[in-house]
Each structure stands twice: as C-alpha cells, then as structure tokens.
Chains A and B, each alone.
Chain A
C-alpha cells in the first residue's frame, strides 16, 4: 500500500532522507508537540478503544465458534472455509452485493453528473431545482424506504408510469429477480448528494477554458468532454470510492424494504453481506462466523478500493500535477 500513498495524485512529495535522524526539539517545538497530542488524544483514544481494539478482537472471534454467551471455542480457519466452500448463502449474498455495488455506483455517478450539468445551465428557477434535487438526501432513510414500498407496489405509481409506455411493470420487491434493481432505484434516488459536490466542482472551472474552447469551435458536447469532465474527475473519483464502500456495506435499505421483515428477501435474492452478517450474529448466535464474514467483506472492499486507486492515474486529472 505504501507505494500507493506515495503516488497518490496531488500529494506533495517530501525529499527522501537517508536514514532517520532524531532532532532535538526546541522549547516551542515541545510545546507544539504537547498540544498536538492533547488535541489529537480524543480521536486517538476513541480510535484505539472503539476501532482498533474491536478490530483485533474480531480477528480472534472470527477464528472461534462463539454464541456470545458461552466461552468461545477455537476452530482455526473453519469459519472462513465454511463461508468460501460450503455456505451457498454466502456466495449468493456476495454475488448480490457485487450486483448491487457494480450497478448502483456507476449509475449513481452518471445520474449525478447529468443532473449537475443540467443545474449548471443558466435557467430560470435554478436555485429551486438545486434544492429539490438535494432534498431526497435530507429525508431519513426509513421514511424514504416506506414511501418506496408504496411507489414500488405491483400497481404502484412506478408501474403505472411504466404502463403509460406500454410496459408491464414487475412486482419489484416481491420478485427474486427484481428486488435488487428496486434497491438500485432507491439508491439512485439519493444521487443528489453527489450532484451537489459535482456542481460546486463545475462552478469552479474557469470561464476562460470554455471561451477558448468556443473560439476553437467546440460545441456543447465537445466542451463537456474536453473541459468539464476532466476538471471534475477528482470529485467523481471521490464519489466513486465513497459510493463503493457505502454500496458494499448496504444494510438499512434491505432491512426495511425486504417484505415481511425477512432480511433475506424472496429466496435470499436481496441477502447482502452485511445483512447476512447481522443475521448470523444476532439472530443465529454465530458470532465467529459473522466476524469471518466481516473480514471477508473487508478484503473485498479493500481490493476494489485498491483497483480504483490504481486505475485512477489513467483518468483522474489534477491541475496541480505535472505530467
């Protein structure tokens, strides 16, 4: 990972020193160091106590069979082999999570960029539209999900809308095939959060670039691809990473939307990694197995984040970076 840190685009590089040298701190330096530790300590204590400690503990738990009541039994890597080789529900939930993440994240970005581009036009009522688009993000998720239950009802408004185009809408939440697309629809509804960030990035693009492009005879489409898009890639990249992490950890939406309070949805079609983890830990009392799932999910997220960073060099443009 260290090379990734070094090569993080835009990072100011310090000249490498040969060997480490201990420098004696001046009085002011000591004072500064004291305040540094003083102010950082709340975070540090929280981090060690509530994050690092539990993470280490969960590595241990994942190697045991533990019902949370009686003492844990050491089982070595059994939980991991069981998840990877024996449990069909694990693979199904992994596939469901991939399906959801790999469609909802890019789709959310495309919609976000499209909306931001529209809102960047000088039209009447622009402020009102901007507010309206951000509004869904402010509605609590539970309320949103309840509304979506109605919207996605077999004869609900969405299917009525599809009916106008002669399409026979599916039963969304009740169908094993359509419950994942339904969750994706719900996630795209919240694209306003990304839109606001993208919009501010677009506002920051210097007018001269467009003027120059116009003089060179570039149309609207060409201006978007050659000026706007490269300039907002850092924000797209940020949204991509955050979106991926969020999508792999999807939980509440499934928990609320799955019919009859059955977390897995019809035939486990909406069983995600975190809902499976939750069910195993808090409903079936398999804490060891749940912890193993947590670490497998960690690896999955790590892999995707690394891939995103590795490929970032090819398409993310930083103005300050000289190529």
Chain B
C-alpha cells in the first residue's frame, strides 16, 4: 500500500513530464506531411469551424495542388496543444496567432515571411493598411493579418431613448461618455456601462490620454501619470460613480457574467467589446447599435485580430504561404463576414457592400464603425512575455477591480514586476 501511494503521488507531480514524454514519443512517428497535406490549426467555436472550413474548401477548389487538414482547437486549450505539437517536432504547417505571436517568433518557431511576400508580389500595406506589419518582430514579418477589428461601443437604443441621451459617436470625450453613463444608470437595476476591467478596454483610455504600456524602446511605462489616470478613471466608474456593476453585482446576475452577457440581457446601456458580440445580439431582444470608441486627449482604441503564420516544422513553407495568401485575399475573406464571424483584415472586403450591408445585420447597423475606428487603432505591445505581462496585471489588480483602490500604488508595484519580467 505504501508503495502504491508513493507512486500515486509521483504520478500527479510528474504532470509536466508526462506531457514532455508524450512529445518525445511523437518525435519517432513519421510526419503526417508525407502526402503533401498541410496541417492548419485555428481556435474557436462552431462558427469559427464552419467559416474556416468554407474558406479552406474554396482554397482547395481553386488550387487543386493544395490540400489542407484543418484542425479546430477550443480556445482555452489552443496554446498548450500547439505548444505540445511543436515541442514534439510535429507542429502544424499553418497556425493562427494573435497577441502572443512573439512568444513563438522570438523563439524561432515561425518562418519569417518577408521573402515569400516579396516574391509573390503581395503588398501588405495595400491589402491590410496600417495592420499590415502588425505581426512583425525585429523587422521581420512572421504572420499575415487575417482577422482584424477595432473594439467598438455597443449601445442599447431603447435605454438611450428612455433616458433621452444622444447615441454615442467617435466625437465623444471621456467626460461625455461618463455624463451619458450617469444619466443611463438606475441604481441597483440598470448601469450606464459594462466596465473597463479588461486590458483592451482600459488600455484604450491610457492611450487616449497619451500614455503607453510599453514605450517605443521596449521598457514598461505603466506608472506614468497618463496610465495611472486612465486606470483610476476606469475603476472609479465602478466604485466612485457607480455607473458600472461591481464584481459582486455581476456575480449576482449569474455565473461568468460580465459586460457582454449583461449588455445582451439589457442590464447595461453601453458595452465596449469586439465584433464577436454581434452573433449573440442578433438573436437577443435588445434593440442595439454600434459606434466607434469615444476619445480622450486624442483618439485611440485597441483592436482584436489574428494572423496566419507558417511554423518551422512546415515541410513546404512556400506552399503554406501560398495558401495564406489565398486565404487573406478578397474571395476567401468575404466568407468571414458572410458568416458574421469577425472583421476580415482585408481592406478591400472591409470597404465592400458585403461588409457594410451584410444580410444578417439589423436595419441601419453602422458597420462603418469598424472602418472609422481603424484610423485610430493603437499598437498594443505584442512582447514575447505577453502572457506573463497579462498575468502580472491580473494578479495585482484582482482586489483593485473588485473593491476599488489607488491606481498609482498598484501600477508602481506592477511597474517593478514588469521591469524584471520584460528583458
């Protein structure tokens, strides 16, 4: 019995080891790419699966020499799965990347694409605009933008009409936004805004104030007055002005409640989030509209997106790039909007009627909000230590978001920690 218990204890603690062993055994197995099929991994749910598959089908139909095996991995397991695949020497040929892209590129796991871009004659600037070089690291391009949309303001028209408040516009300042939130709040029942506790939200305010999270030379600057002011404002909206539900109030509404579901339930009048909220709202009873983000000292808003990259394990990187080139070209990108999945990164599609007046959109939905926002998207610092940076914010700001507090003190502490994390 003793022995069994000892080994049981060992079994659990060797968790990491088991996975690495699985990786080692995978080394021995032959590569699946023998028949020239490209493996492509993406994350997401049902809509994503359908959309990617339709795009891949189109690609295969138009390019008979390319075969793609599409693998969809649930979002919360994506990084671990891909990491295990790559560590085992059996990485995918094409992978979807986002904010965390440089954990891979800094470790030489992605193929620099510049020479392929050049020889194919693809003009990134022309096809994608300012986001064309979003996924570059140390002057080399590691991924081609695929989906890219700014964060936008969703507003509940009925609640705005009832309170007699004008609908939001890009011309609003932070003060205008707060004034509107205050008029839209009915204590304990309805709130003006869904909150800004997520990096994409409060960082937007920081960049609106002229601050930066990481400066141009790569040093963290999170305790600058501009950033402190932004974080304090974002927090005060909840704990001082009471125009945003507190964490406790959200928890009382149901499990995993936050701005997105609360907006769809008509509990908050405004919410700032990405394109994905549209899918749920089409089916909800809420009478909603969208507008570009308000501004501060200057206009700034974060964007969400993802790109497609070729990994080191790709046997035929040239063909993999060819596939990516096709997938990010107009015909394949149109499927993204037809399925209401996301904002296609391709500018030509973003400006087309397919995007501006999609079939599924309610009457008069201002899809131009995305195009308008793209002019003032700020460049978030996609550092290789992205995950650690986010964890540092989450760990330190947990109590701050839940109970309120002093942004300066929190950010001073975070600054110190980030200085040791960011090399």
Contacts and interface: CB of A to CB of B under 8 A. Distances in A.
Contacts of B80: 282
Nearest to B88: A68
B17 A54 contact: yes
A290 B19 CA distance: 12
A153 B402 contact: no
Interface string A141-184: 00000100110011110000000000000010111100000000
A123 interface: no
A153 B20 contact: no
A188 interface: no
Contact of B399 (A4, A67, A176, A260): A176
A50 B25 CA distance: 10
A271 to B, nearest CB: 8
Given A53-B21, A149-B256, A298 B10 contact: yes
Contact of A264 (B8, B385, B394): B394
Interface residues of B, number: 54
Interface string B374-392: 0000000000010110010
Contact of A58 (B3, B20, B107): B20
Interface in B1-45: 1-3, 5-21, 23-25
B398 interface: yes
A282 B391 contact: no
B20 A54 contact: yes
Interface stretch (A110-118, A198-206, A273-281): A273-281
Contacts of A154: 248-249, 251-252
A106 interface: no
Contacts of B356: none
A295 interface: yes
A262 interface: yes
Given A284-B388, A298-B9, A260 B109 contact: no
Given A5-B2, A69-B86, A50 B21 contact: yes
B391 A245 contact: no
Nearest to A281: B16
Contacts of A103: none
Nearest to B8: A245
Contact of B391 (A4, A54, A264): A264
Contacts of A278: 15
Interface residues of A, number: 64
B121 interface: no
A23 interface: no
B2 A57 contact: no
Given A245-B8, A266-B402, A55 B14 contact: yes
Given A54-B18, A297-B13, A153 B388 contact: no
Given A154-B251, A249-B12, A264-B394, A285 B256 contact: no
A282 B83 contact: yes
Nearest to B108: A70
Contacts of B385: 284
A133 interface: no
Interface string A42-85: 00000001110111011001000001111000000000000000
B247 interface: yes
Contacts of B396: 267
A61 B12 CA distance: 16
A70 B394 contact: no
Contact of B402 (A171, A274, A281, A295): A171
Given A69-B109, A298-B10, A146 B391 contact: no
Contact of B79 (A283, A290, A298): A283
B7 A174 contact: no
A294 interface: yes
Contacts of A68: 20, 23, 83, 86-87
B252 A50 contact: no
B363 interface: no
A214 B402 CA distance: 58
A217 B18 CA distance: 58
Interface string A301-323: 11001000100000000000000
Contact of A283 (B14, B248, B387): B387
Nearest to A266: B398
A245 B7 CA distance: 11
A107 interface: no
Given A68-B83, A69-B109, A264-B394, A50 B18 contact: yes
A100 interface: no
B20 A149 contact: no
A294 B13 CA distance: 5
B87 A69 contact: yes
Contacts of B14: 51, 54-55, 58, 294, 298
7 contacts: A5-B2, A8-B2, A53-B21, A58-B16, A156-B252, A171-B402, A260-B394
Given A174-B402, A294-B14, 12 more contacts: A5-B3, A50-B18, A69-B109, A153-B248, A174-B248, A249-B13, A259-B251, A264-B391, A282-B79, A282-B83, A290-B16, A301-B13
Interface of B: 1-3, 5-21, 23-25, 76, 79-80, 83, 86-87, 103-104, 107-109, 197, 247-249, 251-252, 254-256, 258, 385, 387-388, 391, 394-396, 398-399, 402
